[in-house]
């Protein structure tokens, strides 16, 4: 059954490339009004310009104030949100034995902490509209691959966050993809 997107107000976080950019394009092609957010402003502006009603909101998900501003900007522009897609992620390709504390912090701050910050900022708005939070995970959680240990670990933590969010925010509709 196809999902009706016409008129939906969507914020895609991590939209400057890859799955996030493709998600924003797909939502817009289905008639959604979309805000896109990421830290790479040049790519973000180009994407937003290609979308009908596209709005670019620069934000690094590791910065709590920037995340709150991004969500509030989208809410104000579209008078609410019906969906937030969290597609932001980093994945250094390296053996875990070579990973430094800085590598771990970058991966966990982007892939888990950033997701939690976006969820917390967006939850009240999604609850108000009966909207949905969509978190992108990875099959690497079930089937680890060489040199992706940091990424797989972060996505396992993200899966834990997805299970906890409806408990912390009763009524919040959360989907893990």
Active site amino acids = 151
d(C-alpha 108, C-alpha 130), whole Å: 29
Rounded Cα distance between 68 and 163, Å, is 22
- Residue from 59, 74, 88 nearest 131 by CA: 74
CB of 34 closer than 8 Å to CB of 84: no
The position carrying tokens 């009908």 is 52
Other Cβ atoms closer than 10 A to 2: 5
DSSP helix/strand/coil, 55: strand
């Amino acid at each position: 059954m196809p999902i009706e997107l016409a008129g939906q107000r969507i914020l895609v976080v991590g939209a400057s490339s890859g799955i996030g950019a493709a998600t924003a394009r797909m939502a817009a092609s289905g008639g959604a009004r979309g805000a896109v957010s990421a830290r790479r402003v040049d790519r973000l502006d180009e994407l937003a310009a290609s979308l009908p009603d596209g709005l670019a909101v620069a934000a690094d998900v590791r910065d709590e104030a920037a995340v709150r501003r991004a969500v509030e900007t989208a809410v104000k522009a579209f008078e609410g949100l019906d969906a937030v897609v969290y597609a932001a992620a980093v994945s250094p390709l390296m053996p875990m034995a070579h990973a430094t504390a800085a590598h771990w912090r970058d991966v966990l701050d982007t892939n888990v902490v950033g997701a939690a910050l976006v969820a917390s900022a967006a939850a009240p708005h999604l609850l108000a509209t009966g909207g949905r939070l969509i978190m992108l995970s990875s099959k690497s959680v079930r089937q680890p691959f060489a040199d992706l240990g940091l990424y797989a670990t972060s996505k396992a933590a993200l899966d834990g966050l997805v299970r906890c969010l409806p408990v912390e925010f009763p009524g919040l509709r959360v989907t893990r993809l």
